[in-house]
Structure 1
Amino acid sequence: MYMNRDILKQIIIDQKEMYLDNPLISRDYNLEENVNYCFVGIRRTGKSYMMYQQIHNLMNDGISSSQIVYVNFEDERLLEIGVDDLNTILEIGIEFSGSKGKPYLFLDEIQNVDGWEKFVRRVADMKYRINITGSNSKMLSKEIASTLGGRFMIVNVFPYSFKEYLSANHIENIMLAQIGTKKRADIVSQYEQYVTYGAFPELVDIKNKRPFLNNIYQTVYLQDIITRNKITNDFAVRLILKKIAESVTKALSFNRLTNIVKSAGISIGKQTVINYVGYMLDSYLIFSLQNYAAKLVEKETSPKYYFMDTGLLGLMLLDYKTAQLENLVAVELIRRYGFENVYFFENNIEVDFYIPSENLAIQVSMQVLDDVDTLERETRAFVKLNQFIPDTKCLLVTNSEETKLNCDGIKIDVVPIWKWLLD
């Protein structure tokens, strides 16, 4: 059953206000002209604003607003839309463009339309400029990637980096070697807000941040995990999420998760637990890192899990400062190096993060210089790792401490988190 063409046309007209009236939130992503982009990431992380930015750039280059076709598929009037209606949207765009040229398509949260990928590929093959967003990692599955066939550049959109966060709070042009006492104090103060409440772009101008964060969490939880996957046992999902939050700094196996849920009196199979965790990963609420030293099966079944935003992690824990610190380092590493290039290392030694392409090992600790036992544990791990992988660069990220150490000939840089984030 097709949607009414006039209703679709009215929705497109109504939604122009979304990109014309919304203030632009500038992001630190280098986007090229004449490239089709697929922006993916957790909800409210700024994917739509990436599109708005593209649209404004086109209009500044002289493209008429009548050639811009933006559709947000979260609109409740589009709940019944099917893949056949997507072609009607293209036809409406051609009609609006008239003699000015081809329309430019911007399709927001396109994953809500089953079968969208074949339409998108066809339009790209017809040499239309088309940008899409989605908040489900299944958009990047091998099957869909094969269908799109390299016609799109994939951009993972994360919550604000610390540099972006400072810029949004009007602290810019930071030269680490020239930071005075006052500016340093301002930066450290902003960092405390950044790590505690997270970095969703809209959060910057909101004073009562926790309710806003909770609203994001509930939307992702209910819409992207429970409703989308037709889950009836939502208590089991909540319990799994809670345990993942409590275990952020440790590897966590599916067997252990299954036993935890069963111990709460819930009858559940291991495969169901695996499915539920998969849905959480699909929604970008969490992500996983594998053990670089493990065998293939262990890599898949006993990863570490982290939340995509430290504010969301803070909602789920009472004592969360240490967990948030390590979680923040994990997010920054995948931002810099990509999901597939960041690991932890566990093989009779425990190293929080290892990046093979950089031969870089990172330990994370709130403080080490006044705690002999912690300092010994963290530095000995670096020494042992160098026995496995010689010449590994060693970095110890702390809450506020800074120095250089030498342990058995291994040089270790101790850096405060705020400075590392800006490096």
Structure 2
Amino acid sequence: MEATMNREVLKQVIFDQHEVIRHAKIVPRRYHLDPQGNYIITGLRRAGKSTLLYSIARDLVEQGVAWERIIYLNLEDERLAEFSLADFQDIVQVQSELSDERGYYFFDEIQNVPGWEKFARRMADAGERVYITGSNATMLSSQMASTLGGRYLVRQVGTYRFDEYLDARGQAHDMRALYTTREAGAIMRLFDRYYRFGGFPEAIRFEQPREYVENVYQKVLLGDIAARNNVRNPAALRVLMKKVAETVRSDISYSSLYNTLKSVGFSIAKETVISYLGYAHDAYLLFSLSNAVSRFVDQESKPKYYFSDNGLLNLFLYNRDTALLENQVAIALRDAYGEGLHYLKSPKHGIDIDFYVPDAGMAVQVAYSIEGDARAREVGNLVKLHHVDASVTSFVIVTKDETETIEIDGIVIRVVPAWRYLLELAGA
């Protein structure tokens, strides 16, 4: 294809994308972007990265920027299937043909073009305004960071938080709504749907969103993980993800996962299991929490894995409401506390804490209900922690529906329903 034809195709793609942006339904998200910054926006596929770019583009137009200065390319558009590193220069030329003023560049799923980071650095060095999205954490590797030289700020985008989900559904969640019987009931009903089907923005319009989530999962598994990493045994990868889903709420070792796969007929090396888990992490399908037990002199233990959206986890589970509840709380806490979030399991002290944030002095247990034996177990673990770590001052048990205040052995434990706790975290 000749260069001039390339530029005509690029113009068509750009103007078609303008129409998409004009008509997109945009729910405000929680992410603040400095108007003077260049950004790399990463996260799980279909979590809303593109819509965040749409919002930025529309804000620019509302501020008086002409549409001709908005250069938006979705690099998964089939018309750009042959797009290569050399073609980026054509984008700059097209922009100068469309406007005498400098453009604003938006590159969606840029990781599809090998070597993109060299172009991104050149654009930043030239003082251009650039926004980039990608669905793979390798975009943030130390090597990539060295190439980009700190010229881009980074935001990781997740699926809807519960407050955003309520906004998208048109449900109020202010103080009045939380204490109005009818409104609170509506919030609880929506939470039941949210924690079962997850927070993918586009899934909201589906009466039965499971099929949509399944399609996203297959795209992540087969495209973002298997194809991108040349996985030679995708069947083993599928079974591994199923086994990880079955371990949610439990710490598990690589050896255990390796032996589980071996027992069902997959003879892959332990190093391959580790690689597959790394690929799933890089694609934002999974995240893991480490054991903070080293604070108590015990040896570092095994990770706990969670899925980055409950809809994904629910593809694998049947009648596992407690696992879904804990996974949802894990997502919300990680969003709030990032790398500061751990779990705590110490055989030496007989302590098993679901979520532990040392810097915030907080411990959180998750139980579908604390009726019966669960009450003594959950309360007992928090009391033991209190005796071992005086820096912990906030003790919480998150349940499905129960509310209570427990005063015991010198500490106060809040028992709070998950829907309310997620809204508290969002407002923190």
What TM-score results when the alignment is normalised by the length of structure 1?
0.94
Structure 2: runs of 5+ lacking an equivalent: none
Matched, 1:318 2:302: no
Does structure 1 conserve the Cα–Cα contact (< 8 Å) formed by 2:166 and 2:173? Answer: no
Q: Which of 23-32 and 54-63 deviates more?
A: 23-32
2: CA distance between counterparts of 1:40 and 1:108? 10
Once the two structures are superposed, residues 20-49 of structure 1 have per-residue CA deviations (whole angstroms, 9 ceiling, x without a partner) of: 222223212223312212211101110000
Post-superposition offset of 1:347:
1.0
Q: Tell me the distance in 1 between the aligned counterparts of 2:227 and 2:397.
A: 41
How many corresponding residue pairs? 417
Report which stretch shifted further, 47-56 or 202-211: 202-211
Is 226-235 or 127-136 further displaced after alignment?
226-235
Instruction: Give the equivalent residue in structure 1 for 2:9.
Output: 7
- Is the partner of 1:91 in helix, strand or coil? helix
Cα separation, partners in 2 of 1:60 and 1:297, compared to 1, 3 Å? farther
Within 1, Cα distance between the matches of 2:250 and 2:32? 35
Residue equivalent to 2:346: 347
Q: Secondary structure at the match of 2:305?
A: strand
What's 1:273 paired with?
Answer: 273
Larger deviation, residues 189-198 vs 145-154: 145-154
Note the C-alpha offset of 1:294: 4.1
Amino acid at match of 1:412: I
1:406 match: 407
Partner of 2:367: 365
RMSD: 1.9
Question: In the alignment, what sits opposite 2:81?
Answer: 79
Question: Residue 198 of structure 1 corresponds to which residue in structure 2?
Answer: 198
Q: Percent identity?
A: 42
1:319-353: CA deviation from partner (whole Å, max 9, x where unpaired): 22111100001100111122x11111111211001
Equivalent in the alignment of 1:18: 20
Cα distance in 2 for partners of 1:322, 1:256 equals 22
Matches within 5 A, 1:355-394: 355-368=357-370, 370-371=371-372, 373-392=373-392, 393-394=394-395
**Residues 40-51 of structure 1 mapped to structure 2, 5 A cutoff:** 40-51=42-53
2: CA distance, partners of 1:177 / 1:403 = 20
1:285 corresponds to 2:285: yes
Q: Distance in 1 between matches of 2:234 and 2:173?
A: 46
Does the 8 Å contact 1:2/1:84 carry over to 2?
A: no
Structure 1 counterpart of 2:82, one-letter code: E
> Are the equivalent residues in 2 in contact too, given 1:176–1:419 (CA < 8 A)?
no
Preserved CA contact (<8 Å) 1:2 1:81: no
How many angstroms apart in 2 are the aligned matches of 1:173 and 1:315? 28
User: 1:178 & 1:43 partners in 2: Cα distance?
Assistant: 32
Query: Could you give the per-residue CA deviations for residues 359-391 of structure 1, whole angstroms, max 9, x where no partner exists?
Result: 1110000010x21x2111111111222233214
Distance of 2:200 and 2:298 partners within structure 1: 35
Equivalent AA in structure 2 for residue 219 of structure 1: K
Match of 1:59 among 36, 58, 61: 61
* Residues 163 and 173 in structure 2, CA contact (< 8 A), matched pair in contact too: no
Amino acid at match of 2:51: Y
**1:273–1:92 CA distance, 2 compared to 1 (3 A):** same
SS of the residue 1:293 aligns to = helix
Task: Report what 2:189 is aligned to.
Answer: 189
Using the alignment, how far apart are the partners of 1:261 and 1:304 within structure 2?
Answer: 18
Secondary structure, in 3 states, of the residue corresponding to 1:24? coil
Q: Deviations over 1:260-295 (max 9, x none)?
A: 111112211011111111111111111111111149
Code of the aligned partner of 2:306: Y
Which amino acid counterpart does residue 31 of structure 1 have in structure 2? L
Give distance in 1, aligned partners of 2:419 and 2:26: 26
Q: Distance in 1 between matches of 2:69 and 2:273?
A: 47
User: Are the structure 2 counterparts of residues 297 and 80 from structure 1 closer, same or farther at C-alpha, using a change threshold of 3 Å?
Assistant: farther
Question: Where do residues 119-130 of structure 1 align in structure 2 (5 Å cutoff)?
Answer: 119-130=119-130
Structure 2 counterpart of 1:244? 244
How far 1:218 sits from its partner (Å)?
Answer: 1.0
- Tell me, in whole angstroms, the C-alpha distance in 2 between the residues paired with 1:168 and 1:117: 34
Change (3 A) 1:285 1:298: farther
Distance 1:280 1:94 in 2: 40
Looking at structure 1, the residues matched to 255 and 2 of structure 2 have their Cα atoms a distance apart, in angstroms, of 46
Structure 1: state its 5+ residue gaps. Answer: none
Specify the SS of the correspondent of 1:411. Answer: strand
Matched residue type, 1:202: E
* CA–CA distance in structure 2, aligned partners of residues 331 and 35 of structure 1: 27
Tell me the secondary structure at the aligned position of residue 72 of structure 2.
strand
Asked whether the equivalents of residues 173 and 187 of structure 2 are also in contact (C-alpha less than 8 Å), the reply is no
Within 1, Cα distance between the matches of 2:184 and 2:32? 28
Instruction: State the secondary structure of the residue aligned to 1:322.
Output: helix
Q: Are the structure 2 counterparts of residues 273 and 176 from structure 1 closer, same or farther at C-alpha, using a change threshold of 3 Å?
A: farther
In 2, Cα distance between the equivalents of 1:362 and 1:45?
26
Structure 1, 26-35 or 251-260: larger mean CA deviation: 26-35
Q: Which residue of the partner structure matches residue 145 of structure 2?
A: 145
Query: Does the Cα contact within 8 Å between 1:195 and 1:311 map onto a contact in 2?
Result: yes
Which one is further off, 321-330 or 378-387?
Answer: 378-387
**TM (normalized to structure 2)?**
0.93
Distance 1:185 1:113 in 2: 48
* 1:176 Cα deviation from its structure 2 partner: 6.5
